[in-house]
Chains A and B, each alone.
Chain A
Amino acid sequence: MPNMPGQKRGPVSSKGAFVFPEGMPEDLQEAVKSGKKLTKEQKKRLQPYKKGIKRVNPNGPKNSMGTFKRLMGILLKKYKLNFIVVCILIVFSAVASIAGSAFLGFITTECLVQQESANPDLSRFIGLLVSLGCIFLLGATSSFLYQRVMMYAAQGTMKDIRDEMFTHMQTLPLRYFDTNTHGELMSRYTNDTDTLRQMLGSTIPQVISSVITIVGVFAAMLFYSLTLTILAILFVILLVLLTKALGGKSATYFLKQQVALGKVNGYIEEMMEGQKVVKVFNHEEEAKQNFFALNEELRENMTRANVISNIIGPLMNNIGYLQYIIIAIIGAALALHGGTGMLSLFATLNATEEAATAVYLGVLTSFLPLVRSFNMPIQQVAQQFNSIIMALAGAERIFDILDAEPEDEGGNITLTKVRYNAEKDKYEETPDAEIWAWRVPHEDGYVDYIKLRGDIRFNNVTFRYNPESRIILNDISLYAKPGQKIAFVGSTGAGKTTITNLINRFYDIEKGEILYDGLPIRSIHKDDLRKSLGVVLQDTHLFTGTVMDNIRYGRLNATDEECIEAAKLANADFFIRHLPEGYHTMLTSDGANLSQGQRQLLAIARAMVSSCPVLILDEATSSIDTRTEKLIEQGLDKLMEGRTVFVIAHRLSTVRNSHAIMVLEHGVIIERGNHEQLIAQHGKYYQLYTGAFELD
């Protein structure tokens, strides 16, 4: 595949050698340096030092060999046969190209030999031509076949790696997404897989082919002349040194170019997002001047990086000519002035007096093309070196995702539907069951069913995002009885959203316990726990697909009618019908063609379809105007009926009718009670309600 222009190549991220924190055991340092997968025990011991480990040398992969081996392992796992076939075919094609140039020599020699004779015999000449034709055919066929076979292996491996990366990403805890920016993770899907694809698809076969060619040509050169071969090698060393020098320089400039490009792109993104503000503030001229300056910096760096990569080709090529010239002159001198023994072992052994000149010339004309074919693969390998390093660095970042620790799966308690059997006075799982229940298996094989009621309790829960950061929730205790509506009020950062994130185990608590129908939530299988909770999040996210698909996201087997019904309850039906294709309108990435309020209505409809026993509404109506909110209140009431509901809202009118309102401040519940009680208390809530205190 050609390297398409314009593929953004992100700056190489900071991976390289390690700097370890003090006191870290040496064996652990070794283990980390080796880049091998750590054992469970090692990982555990590594935990306290993890933060302190720094990586230096931002250019290259930290463990090229390890990464390369692992990458080849993935390739070979499924495509071993392909790979072996490719190797064999490459050998064929390389041998064919070497033999081809040898035969060129044979044929010219034969011409000269026959020219001398009065009655030329063409049979050998024709024979040579036919053989050459066969060799060429073999070469072209094997190069066609190896590319074809390699294509399947490379593309297949790319698909496997992508699938595996995405699949594994889905199992990662939210913490992982908090600590890695979207841009950074995205570049592993784009830039890093691109460089990898190039390496698998073209670099590896090319390097193999080059190495084989180098070896073959070298052997052929030796066969013709030791002296000339040594001369050729001297030039090759020069070439390699030059490539290395220029290559190093080009890497530096390339990196600078990437940094400048990153700045320009960042500026463009930010300013285009704010272009309307630029207009309103007449800020066009300043914006332009800033852009021009950044763009100029990019131009300078880009020019430098490009100059190097542009001149490397002509430089190499012409040094190759010089080599050719010098070898031709020295070869000719040797041939003419008796140094034939030095010129060629082959010639001295086989030459007869009368054909000597012809044979010497044949040797020289055979040797000279070999010099060209010797340089070519060496240049190629040298030039591929950079792209191999880059691909390995990319592969390493991909493996980083694959190696990240997945989320805890939770216990073995699962969610199921049961039916009450009055005769036996117990719940049973039957196909027509309708009641949600927890299926609690015991060690002796006995299975208990506990009806899902939606009773949630926090007992002395303490939480922080990581051991070094500040405490977000401090010794919180609360309960929500089945069917109750519990509201959280408090300023930004008080910990409202955190509480809901703990219920569905986006994060795990540090101290205390959370019980769900009396069961510790850790003992419930994570997927089943989340299936029981319907969530409308603060930031509504829609997915590419139709409006209907997005509503159905709540429950994949919901019928169209159910989805429309939910949309009606959420008061979204009206605007959906005004969309160009109604429920079948395609939403672009993250619903950019809808207003924030409309997106929230869809998110509510989605939750309505899901029919979960417990609901969490995190600022679910913040962007909806109060009149519309009033209109959907009925729908919301219906949604909340018989369900345990956790509500977080800025607008106090939204939480007024809750059974209990908790006022949070700095991770502590400072007031609790229903609206009337809290008003009567004349505390923080009262101040908020009367507008005497500000929420932010």
Chain B
Amino acid sequence: MIKTLAKSIRQYKIKTILTPIVMIGEAAMEIFIPWVMSLLIKVLEGSTSDPSWLQVLVGNITSDMLGQVAIYGGIMFVMAVLSMACGVLGGKLASEASAGFVANLRNDMYTNIQRFSFSNIDKFSTSSLITRLTTDATNIQMCFQMMIRMLIRAPMLFIFASVMSFRIAADIAVIFLIASVVMALVIVFIISHAHPNFKMMFEKYDELNAVAQENLVGIRVVKSYVREDHEIEKYKNSTKSVYDYSIKAEKWLTAMMPVVQLIVYGVMILVLAIGGNKIIYGTGLDVGDLTALISYSTQILSGVMMVAMVLNFFAMAKNSADRVSEVLEEKSDLHNPENPVVTMADGSIDFENVSFVYKDGGEEILADINLHIESGETIGVIGATGAAKSSLVQLIPRLYDVSAGCVKVGGVDVRDYDLTFLRDNVSMVLQKNVLFSGSIAENLRWGNKDATDEQIEAAAEAAQAKEFVEKIPEKYEYDLGQGGVNVSGGQKQRLCIARALLKNPKVIIFDDSTSAVDTKTDALIRQSLQKQSPEVTKIIIAQRIASVQDADRIVVLDNGKIADFGTHTELMQRCEIYRDVYYSQVKRGEENA
């Protein structure tokens, strides 16, 4: 997992490595400053016992007390400036590295998602992909930044401070080490108890928000059924469990700081007791040493605490890291062949003994399908909800791969074509169709990015969209809004058809793509299609019999099998399912006409 994520550091490698190094500088300064401080106090004290190298050096320069104080002050000043420089530089590097890393990570995820096949997308689901690209990425960034800033600095602080303490008074330094171990254990204990509760709390919190979200979306249902009180009760139950788990989790956390404080305080008292004794009896310790020791003790212990906190952060971000690496490691299950075919003879389609399952071991969606469709034919597909109509046609542009048998377009197995080439030539209007933010023209140019204004107009006309587009003051420059919210369902469908037409394909597939368009417009679209592109193979999935009635031939699907395949007249004679559908829609109308 870490290896997968680390690949995204790339050009920020130097900054990533530099950050902890600079932070070491800051940590070192933070240790040396108290040391020099203690020397300064020694000067004031007039203590000259057991001088260190720096004391000797300064003593050689001047013996004047104030002069020495000034020198130590000067040294401290330089150190503080150095420390500030390191701290600021470290902070800058860390933010550049972490923001850069996460930007790469998002790019890499997004790039890989673009390689996903339909079944990869199904596997992750849209909303989970969104979470991974947004929230999870941000979690990782926070953790990464924390890590490069603290994970080296904190142990360094600990080591430096320990070394300095040992030099001053080994017996007292041992107390520090013991206290560190105790503190680490206490923190680990507390975090390990708080953590599961926090996890539960966040789960409950998500549930709580789900209830609120659901009520916002479904407010009309709630009000229609007068279920306000019921929903309020549901919500209150949720807030109650969020409250309960928050309390459980925070109980541990509120204990943390005081316990840490107690340990720090305990150490201080011990230092004062032992150190004070040494001073009083004059055994090689002075007030300067004592103040230095006290500040080292807090540094050692805060180093321990920082490491613990970083590790805690790390644990919390681990789930996010797992989810992100899942996306990065996912391999598309559709591959371009080695020597792809980039010519297509015609728009004929063959299904040869095709069966299909969405997931290995899943239910068989299509079984033993054999179909031959001539180039230029118009084929209707009809069948009940769940008859696998969409699954059937999705095999043609290779949105999914067959489980057995093969699908051929223009006499060549679709798996032998270059994927982009295949999809450019097999155009499909999806059932759940989407338009994107941007103008109508921009959206239509998805079909052909070099399309001229005339071509766009022609496609819109063929899709019966021209009329309504031209009624809009901005015409083709009209902004559709996120997901195309600014046009009605029927208008959306017509624009989607126009977009697909612009590809100028050999095969075009309409997956129930005129359901929100009225019968007459539906018919007009089919007519203009027939007229303008007679050579294009057209496959039309529809609920309405009127939409397929005039097709050259009609496939009747029933539970993943071809129940019948023939012209309208043939099917009326011999196919009961077809007759049923027909009569459910048409019969009464005829009686009254």
Contact = CB atoms under 8 A, between A and B. Distances in A.
B44 A332 contact: yes
A474 interface: no
A328 B291 contact: no
B103 A311 contact: no
Interface string A354-368: 000100010011000
B446 A281 contact: yes
B491 interface: yes
Given A279-B423, A595-B385, A111 B113 contact: no
A321 B33 contact: yes
B272 A104 contact: yes
Interface in A603-650: 610, 623-630, 650
B24 to A, nearest CB: 14
A114 B135 contact: no
A541 B218 contact: yes
Interface stretch (A58-66, A162-170, A219-227, A390-398): A162-170
A506 B222 CA distance: 12
- Highest count of chain A CB atoms <10 Å: which of B98, B519, B523: B519
A120 B209 contact: no
Interface in B112-154: 113-118, 121, 126, 129-130, 133-136, 138-139, 141-143, 145, 149
Contacts of B344: none
Contact of B433 (A277, A306, A328, A679): A277
Contacts of A6: 135-136, 138-139, 142, 320
Main secondary structure of the interface of A (DSSP, over half): helix
B358 interface: no
B254 to A, nearest CB: 4
B255 interface: yes
A325 B213 contact: no
Given A155-B250, A171-B228, A315 B121 contact: no
B103 A282 contact: no
Interface string A370-414: 000000000000000000000000000000000000000000000
A546 to B, nearest CB: 14
B397 interface: yes
A170 B222 contact: yes
Interface string B26-61: 100000010001001101111000000000000000
Contacts of B66: 332-333, 336-337
B177 interface: no
A355 B486 CA distance: 87
A580 to B, nearest CB: 12
B230 interface: yes
Contacts of A129: 269, 272-273, 276
B477 interface: no
B247 A589 contact: no
Interface in B258-290: 258-259, 261-262, 265-266, 268-269, 272-273, 276-277, 279-282, 287, 290
Contacts of B259: 140
Contacts, number: 423
Given A322-B80, A626-B584, A8 B135 contact: yes
Given A104-B294, A186-B209, A696-B490, A162 B220 contact: no
Interface stretch (A26-34, A47-55, A267-275, A439-447): A267-275
A292 B107 contact: yes
Interface residues of A, number: 155
B488 interface: yes
Contacts of A280: 397, 399, 423, 427-428, 430
B280 A553 contact: no
A317 B302 CA distance: 15
Contacts of B499: 281
A129 B210 CA distance: 56
Contacts of A265: 130, 134
Contacts of A285: 114
B258 A140 contact: yes
Nearest to B134: A265
A543 B321 CA distance: 31
B391 interface: no
B269 A133 contact: yes
Contact of B209 (A177, A190, A264, A691): A190
A136 B117 CA distance: 63
A361 B239 contact: no
Interface residues of B, number: 171
A170 B221 CA distance: 12
B280 A122 contact: yes
Interface in B285-319: 287, 290-291, 294, 313, 316-317
A510 interface: no
Given A336-B66, A543-B218, A692-B520, A325 B80 contact: yes
B107 A275 contact: no
A323 B201 CA distance: 44
B226 A530 contact: yes
A695 B313 contact: no
A275 B291 contact: no
B83 A114 contact: no
Contact of B96 (A112, A143, A275, A307): A307
Nearest to B230: A556
B185 interface: no
Contact of A589 (B210, B420, B519): B210
A454 interface: no
Given A186-B213, A311-B92, A270 B483 contact: yes
Given A159-B243, A167-B232, A186-B216, A115 B134 contact: no
Given A143-B261, A553-B227, A541 B436 contact: no
- Highest count of chain A CB atoms <10 Å: which of B222, B223, B243: B223
Given A111-B276, A332-B69, A694-B518, A148 B254 contact: yes
A307 B92 contact: yes
Interface in A146-181: 147-148, 151-152, 155-156, 158-159, 162-163, 166-167, 169-171, 174, 177
27 contacts: A1-B253, A5-B142, A108-B291, A132-B269, A136-B268, A155-B246, A166-B215, A174-B220, A185-B216, A272-B130, A276-B399, A280-B397, A302-B102, A303-B100, A313-B87, A315-B87, A321-B33, A335-B44, A492-B488, A530-B224, A535-B225, A556-B227, A575-B386, A624-B385, A627-B580, A653-B585, A691-B518
Given A189-B209, A306-B95, A321-B79, 9 more contacts: A1-B250, A6-B320, A8-B135, A152-B247, A155-B247, A162-B239, A595-B385, A597-B385, A627-B580
Report, nearest first, the 7 A-B pairs whose CB atoms are least far apart: A314-B87, A310-B91, A306-B95, A541-B218, A144-B258, A274-B434, A318-B84
